[in-house]
Amino acid sequence: MAESFGIDAERYDRARPAYPQELVDRIVAASPGPELLDIGCGTGIQARQFQAAGCRVLGVDPDVRMAEFARRRGVEVEVAKIEDWEPAGRTFDAVVAGQAWHWVDPVAGAAMAAQVLRPGGLLAVFAHAFIPPAEVSDAFNAVYRRVVPDSPFGAQPERNTSDLHQAMFAKFADGFRAAQGFGEPEQWRFVWERRYTREEWLDLLPTTGGLTRLAPDQLAEILDEVGVALDKIGGGFTTSFTTLAVVAVRGQQR
């Protein structure tokens, strides 16, 4: 599934939300210099944000389609899984991963970061947690279970997205500790809101993990029913995002 997001790289880049500027600025301020490695860079959403903040960014991504899109947008990318990537002696002031670390072996990924970070360099992984109104999420869950009854996504119990991310980020921090070479990880949290129109939400849904590999008729049925639910609440909604980050500083001795 990690390599299914490139099916429609243009939609992914258009529909996926960027990251709070406060997060970008805080990472840049905490890094000892401007050289940044972006693991699982995808289409370059966060890479371009860091470039705009003055960083020189190298992306690594396993999906050639995503990498090609990012290159067209001005991001240098090498195609590889980070566990197999060859740094060739290169070092960086910061290593980041946005919406990608759950696809990475948490210890091997952190060990690679420790290998390429300069002393005092920063490892920062981050992701969004958000949930639409109950009317929209209930409609999605009902039609998804009907259309894709054997999917592990449909079988999962409904839980607060923020709680799930909190548990996931605790595991990320454990991976940092197990890799050694880092100070004690800390967690950052940024809360913000975004307004979605009907068209924007239906554009986003096909870029999410449970839908990227569906047949066109299955996807159309899901989007149709979610669209009906959106119409019933006025054609759009405002949702609260929580962007979580876990960060750690590379020790002075390597």
Determine the pLDDT at residue 162: 64
Is 76 part of any domain?
yes
Structural domain for 33, as ranges: 5-132+160-193+241-249
Number of domains into which the chain is organized: 1
Is 49 part of any domain?
yes
Instruction: Assess whether pLDDT exceeds 60 at residue 155.
Output: no
109-131 pLDDT, tens digit per residue, is 999 999 999 999 999 999 999 88
Is 216 part of any domain?
no
- Strands across the sheet containing 236-249: 76-79, 56-61, 35-39, 92-98, 117-130, 236-249, 186-197
Separation of alpha carbons 247 and 186, rounded Å: 5
85-94 pLDDT, tens digit per residue, is 999 999 999 9
CATH number of the domain enclosing 12: 3.40.50.150
How many C-beta atoms lie closer than 10 Å to residue 197's C-beta?
12
Torsion angle of C-alpha atoms 195, 201, 207, 210, degrees rounded to 10: 110
Is 220 part of any domain?
no
Instruction: Assess whether pLDDT exceeds 70 at residue 36.
Output: yes
Determine the pLDDT at residue 150: 80
Separation of alpha carbons 222 and 199, rounded Å: 14
Is 166 part of any domain?
yes
Question: Helix, strand, or coil here: 14?
Answer: helix
Determine the pLDDT at residue 3: 59
Amino acid in the structure at residue 146:
R
pLDDT band at 29 (very low <50, low <70, confident <90, very high): very high
Determine the pLDDT at residue 157: 44
Determine the pLDDT at residue 210: 82
Separation of alpha carbons 131 and 160, rounded Å: 8
Is 61 part of any domain?
yes
